[in-house]
A and B are shown apart, each in its own frame.
Chain A
Amino acid sequence: MASKVIHAIYTDDDLLLQAVKQVRDARYHIAEVYTPFPVHGLDKAMGLAPTRLAIASFLYGLVGMTVAITMMNFIMIEDWPQDIGGKPSFSFLQNLPAFVPIIFELTVFFAAHLMVITFYMRSRIWPFKTAENPDVRTTDDHFLMEIDAENHDVDGLSKFLYDTGALEIKLIDNK
């Protein structure tokens, strides 16, 4: 099924933000917006759901903490409880302060790295990935809004986008 999309290009982020609001109010569907830099408030204007990356990170931190505690408990207390410089290896709690730096670091390590990897996976970013850029200028100073043409009246939609301040309006065959 060959669907069509409209690419509307803006040169100003304030204009873009305004346009996004107008387009949504008019109940057209915005497929994607490409910007050279983060536009503050764009996600809200587009009505995107908030990220859950922070929650994932918290859970990863808990995993890291568990790993550290289990590891230190097994190695230092259960497997081979040696007397090293008089440190009390009788129980985990007794020797806890010595383990805290490791627990802390591993918590941070897991929380940070697994969150970053999650981000890469969810955003589909990896080395050698083909760039999905519809227009090279969007990495420099242009903003691009992609709207599903679907079964809308293309002329009417173009006129509407022109009124929102779009500099260029293109009808594109998708895939």
Chain B
Amino acid sequence: MYTLSSKLKLTAIIFMIVGAIGLVYGFIAAPSTIEDVKEMMASKGHHESAEAEVVEQDSHAMASEHAQEGHAMVGQHEAEGHGEAEAHGDEHYEHVLHQLQNKPWAALYVAAFFFFMISLATLAFYAIQYAAQAGWSPVLFRVMEGITAYLLPGSLIVFAILLLSGLHLNHLFVWMDPEVVAKDELIQHKSSFLNVPFFLLRAAIYIIGWNIFRYLLRRNSLRIDEATDGRYFKQSFKLAAGFLVFFLVSESMMSWDWIMSVDPHWFSTLFGWYVFASMIVSAVTVIALISMYLKSRGYLEYVNDSHIHDLAKFMFGFSIFWTYLWFSQFMLIWYSNIPEEVTYFITRIEDYNIAFFGMVVMNFVFPVLILMNSDYKRINLFVIMGGIIILLGHYLDIFVMIMPATVGKEWFIGIPEISALLFFGGLFVFVVFNALTKAPLLPKRNPFIKESQHFHY
């Protein structure tokens, strides 16, 4: 049995408290009126440049007026923009105000989603192991189950944020704003899908579905320990297969709903896969990190460097898979350069250059170089190094998906962002390690457990 060390518990609680304080500060520091924004900008002294940026930043608001011409017009506006800028100066400040008000919300949302997606994808990975009848992984099942314990609180928090958006407490999703929709024909055409009640209903269905599957799989896993026959294992096999079918559909729709819809003018067909790749690689990384931690504390007797080697292979492979999808999405849009699609990447390359390309280095170049060598995959230090970079890289990935549409140019990884990360990181560690104490770390009667104990590569 694993016992939660008080040091770890204390660290997690401190993270949560510090994070919560930082988040509260982030919400207080966000400006509440246009005058605040003007003051802030004046004190920062980038008033002049701000005015030149007006048109670009307003492309969102503009798009509603010029829905038909859409973003194609932005370029032309830029040329004649300076004259117009004076005319709707206040409009610009209002726009910046919304972005600044979004900042703490978006920071909260990105971090909440990031940790939630780790536990969800861990459940998917866990189900894959069951469905594929993997012989190497059963000694890691309890670690995976522990990570999926965060699914319930994590998904409820994400749901709460979506609910608050639906109640118009923030502007994360522009299509939720009736004023915007009234002027925006493009969104109007999508409103049969993108409307708040249906959106929340869908979110509730995904969340309930995932959590039920998680509950049943965990319950079966504990029952297998006590059983005298293979009934519950067979049940778990069927459950896992069923979950994977449900997951594939719900994950794809979840990514449209929760992530793609922050840019309601843009769409991409492989987006669900892309988000999935990001999820699964983070999940495998977290499984590896937690396994190595528990192993170093002497709790996982049968986990050897071959198990870590396998996990590192998955980290390596899924990193490349992520890059493949990232590039496929980017290159197809870059190549054809259709205005209605390409704005997505133009804003990211222009305003998020370091984050956008930095994450490719972190999620691809670094893992490829560090985890290619078969010997390195057995060395904890290398896997930990690679893992931390991968996790940071995928946080950045989610960041770059959400931020451009919600805070635009006002992005910065400052107090609200780091605090949110600390808060959810602390909560994640607290919930996961608490769940690990609930059951023995070695499953007893799993049909593959012997093979797994002697697994060596």
Binding site for B on A (CB under 8 A): 54, 58, 86, 97-98, 100
Contacts and interface: CB of A to CB of B under 8 A. Distances in A.
B135 to A, nearest CB: 15
Interface string B348-386: 000000000000000000000000101000000000000
B337 interface: yes
A98 B374 CA distance: 32
Contact of B331 (A54, A86, A100): A100
Given A58-B372, A97-B334, A97-B335, 9 more contacts: A54-B374, A86-B337, A97-B327, A97-B330, A97-B331, A98-B331, A98-B335, A100-B327, A100-B331
Nearest to B372: A58
Nearest to A55: B373
Interface in B65-95: none
A79 B454 CA distance: 59
Contacts, number: 12
Interface of B: 327, 330-331, 334-335, 337, 372, 374
A54 B376 CA distance: 14
Nearest to A101: B331
A63 to B, nearest CB: 16
For the complex of A and B, the 9 pairs showing the least CB-CB separation, nearest first, are A97-B331, A97-B334, A98-B335, A100-B327, A100-B331, A97-B335, A97-B330, A58-B372, A86-B337
Nearest to B333: A97
Contacts of A54: 374
Task: Tell me which of A54, A86, A97, A98 has the highest count of chain B C-beta atoms within 10 A of its own C-beta.
Answer: A97
A38 to B, nearest CB: 15
B369 to A, nearest CB: 10
A156 B335 CA distance: 76
A69 B372 CA distance: 22
A100 B324 CA distance: 11
A161 to B, nearest CB: 30
Nearest to A54: B374
Nearest to A98: B335
Contacts of B335: 97-98
Contacts of B337: 86
A54 B334 CA distance: 35
8 contacts: A54-B374, A86-B337, A97-B327, A97-B330, A97-B334, A97-B335, A98-B335, A100-B331
B329 to A, nearest CB: 11
A50 to B, nearest CB: 10
Contacts of B330: 97
Contacts of B374: 54
B327 to A, nearest CB: 7
A86 B339 CA distance: 14
A100 B334 CA distance: 13
A58 B337 CA distance: 35
Nearest to A97: B331
A86 B331 CA distance: 15
A54 B335 CA distance: 35
